[in-house]
Chains A and B, each alone.
Chain A
Amino acid sequence: MAFVVPAFTQQSLETNFRTTGAAVTAVFEPQRAVIQLSSAVIYNGRNEIAYGTVISADGYVLTKASEVEGVGKIDVRVDKELFKDAKVVMTDTRWDVALLKIDATDLTPVVFAPDSKLPRGTWVVVNGVTSRTNRRVMAGIISADNREILPEGGAVLGVTLKETKKGLAVEEVSKDSGAEKSGLKKGDIITTIDGKPVKEVAALGKLLSKMKSGSDVKVAILRDGKKDELDVKLSARGDIFREATRNDEMSGNFSNRRSGFPRVIQHDILGASITMGGPVLDLEGRAVGMNIARANRAETFAIPVEELRELAEGMIKQVVK
């Protein structure tokens, strides 16, 4: 019997047999078959930009909104077929989810698991690498308790302000922030937030600290002496004013938006940020969630199935209405 392994000689396990290796992932073929049909691949031209979750036979697909936002032309592959010119028909900024519509008729939507009450150590399977014809899978386990992910560093408008005699003056508007999208401009004087007067930067920060990123606030302003009111979507400070930590530096390709989610399940499968949006399956091949953020090199977040189902049904209902 050749069982003796001398501990002092260094040996290495072949890539094929490592956790993400083909010899190991082969056992997940039943789940892979589901991924093949129900996990979409989102492209901008030739570039894969995200994955998606097929939620209806007639072409509705959910994906991570911030990965497809502002992308001119979106194509979607489901199974082997490429559907050109997908439309972003709706977005939910709270969850960072976009609803796409493709011109399809008999897709296989994911089957939702009854709940996301999964103890740590439960197997989960996601779309790993993809080719024109084939989806490959990666597997891992539930890593932590389901919970809310607060906006990193609190909620912000996305502006830098200066206290002046006239009030809080906008000095700079951050790129891709809710402030920029609302049309807030340098020189605007912010007078009230949701009707509450704000005169100091600290008071504004305190007010926003109680709010959630992705929610809207009414910002009353003075521009060239004229009153105006803008709806500004709050962002997470960490997403707008990013200060890379040492953990970030060694985390490779993490999601731009990775905080401010009402509730997530957490697993240990490390896909690149472009692999967010796809379904997270249990061993039965049912969706227990949808990948929404690669937070760092050790943590990936997914929207739990309860909320995912609500989002899917709610968004389709609103669009079809």
Chain B
Amino acid sequence: MKKPLAYFLIAAVCLAPLSAFPVNAKKAPESRADLITMQDALLAAIPKAQAATVCIDLDDGSGSGVIVSEDGLVMTAAHVSTGVGKDVTVIMADGTKLKAETLGLDSETDAALIQITEKLPEGKPFPAVEINKTDDTKLGDWIFSLGHSGGFDKERGAVSRIGRLVRVANTTLQTDGALIGGDSGGPLFDMDGRLIGIHSRVGTVVGQNMHVPVKVFTDNWDRMLKSEFIGEGPFVKKPEIGKGFLGLATKTAKGGIEVTKLGKKSPAEEAGIKEGDLIRTLNGEKLDSREKLQSILAELAAGDKITFEITRDGKDETINLKLGER
């Protein structure tokens, strides 16, 4: 009984490095039949890929991303998500805008995850693409890219482009398709429509694009899911400890500290804190003086979530907010 099993394993090992896509075995397409094979593969793969390619709307521009799970997990570039725990808007192919929150990121390789926090109507599953976890992509493979080039355009849709893998390194894939600003964070696919990378940056020359291979994501998957900020840049600057911004002035009072002034549009004001509120605790720690508040804030950074327990007009309340950037 052992023999057939051994045979099977050998066969699997021999086949594994060969891509399932036949034209990739040739140095270049050789015939019309090869071109039709490529075209058929694209026609079959693009609609699904397009449905999962989202635009990530930021305050000062936009990037792209791709949904990889039916509950709305999005892979994108770290320089698109720009931080951990940020609120962003994700725009689906049909223009539906959904709230989302940035999870962890790897600031050294430009990888990031975003979770869509709103549901689709009727709780429908999100359109998701398959991640190619086999690590079988190789130099010269044909690929296609999607992305919301230059921003979201419903009439146009995500733009699709063909190309080849022209450089393969440990944390970077390079392709020769046509990418531009707004494509950042968008998906790179093999000809079977499996995700192999995320668009990171373009060169000064047209047709020179760098992508983060999916392996960088899968290697750091759990840490990113746990909203960890990995690395020290250069794609995202780590929020500095002590630079978290709250935007209120207080004075020490009986049983806590009293809010005397609020910054316009500050995180404190936006969270609903009012002048005269008595803040009793911060993250469960008793605030008996202004200095105590400052010493806790000194340990926190922009984007960190905090919880206040307050008393207003004799009633106790809990307020959650996220520190801004000073």
Binding site for B on A (CB under 8 A): 1, 3-5, 7-13, 17-21, 23-24, 26-28, 30, 119-123, 140-145, 147-148, 246-247, 250-252, 266, 268, 270, 283, 296-299
Closest 3 CB pairs of A and B: A121-B42, A298-B180, A268-B161
Contacts of B181 in A (CB 8 A): 246-247, 250
A123: nearest chain-B partner, CB-CB: B39
Check if A147 sits within 8 Å of B161, measured CB to CB: no
Check if B164 sits within 8 Å of A19, measured CB to CB: yes
Contacts of A26 in B (CB 8 A): 28
- Segment touching A, from B67-75, B121-129, B201-209: B201-209
Residue among A9, A17, A28, A252 with max Cβ neighbours from chain B (10 Å): A17
Check if A5 sits within 8 Å of B176, measured CB to CB: no
Instruction: For the complex, give the distance between the alpha carbons of A259 and B166 in Å.
Output: 33
The proximity string for B residues 140-178 relative to A, scoring 1 for CB distances below 8 Å and 0 otherwise, is 100010000110000111011111111111100000111
Say yes or no: A247-B182 contact (C-beta < 8 A), given A24-B29, A299-B159: yes
- The number of chain B residues with a CB under 8 A from chain A is 54
A1: nearest chain-B partner, CB-CB: B14
Contacts of A251 in B (CB 8 A): 180, 206
Check if B35 sits within 8 Å of A123, measured CB to CB: yes
Say yes or no: A144-B42 contact (C-beta < 8 A), given A3-B18, A4-B17, A296-B150: no
Q: Is B254 an interface residue (CB 8 A)?
A: no
Segment 7-44 of B: residues with Cβ below 8 Å from A: 14, 17-18, 27-32, 34-36, 38-39, 42-43
Say yes or no: A140-B156 contact (C-beta < 8 A), given A27-B35, A123-B35, A270-B206: no
Instruction: For the complex, give the distance between the alpha carbons of A120 and B40 in Å.
Output: 11
Interface majority SS on A: helix, strand, loop or mixed?
loop
Residue among B30, B50, B178 with max Cβ neighbours from chain A (10 Å): B178
Looking at the complex, which one of B29, B155, B180 makes contact with A297 (CB distance below 8 Å)? B180
B158: nearest chain-A partner, CB-CB: A144
Check if B202 sits within 8 Å of A7, measured CB to CB: no
Instruction: For the complex, give the distance between the alpha carbons of A12 and B160 in Å.
Output: 24
A122: nearest chain-B partner, CB-CB: B39
Segment 35-92 of B: residues with Cβ below 8 Å from A: 35-36, 38-39, 42-43, 45-46, 50
Check if A17 sits within 8 Å of B27, measured CB to CB: yes
Check if B17 sits within 8 Å of A268, measured CB to CB: no
Contacts of B215 in A (CB 8 A): 7
Check if A11 sits within 8 Å of B168, measured CB to CB: yes
* Chain B: minimal CB distance from A208 (Å): 21
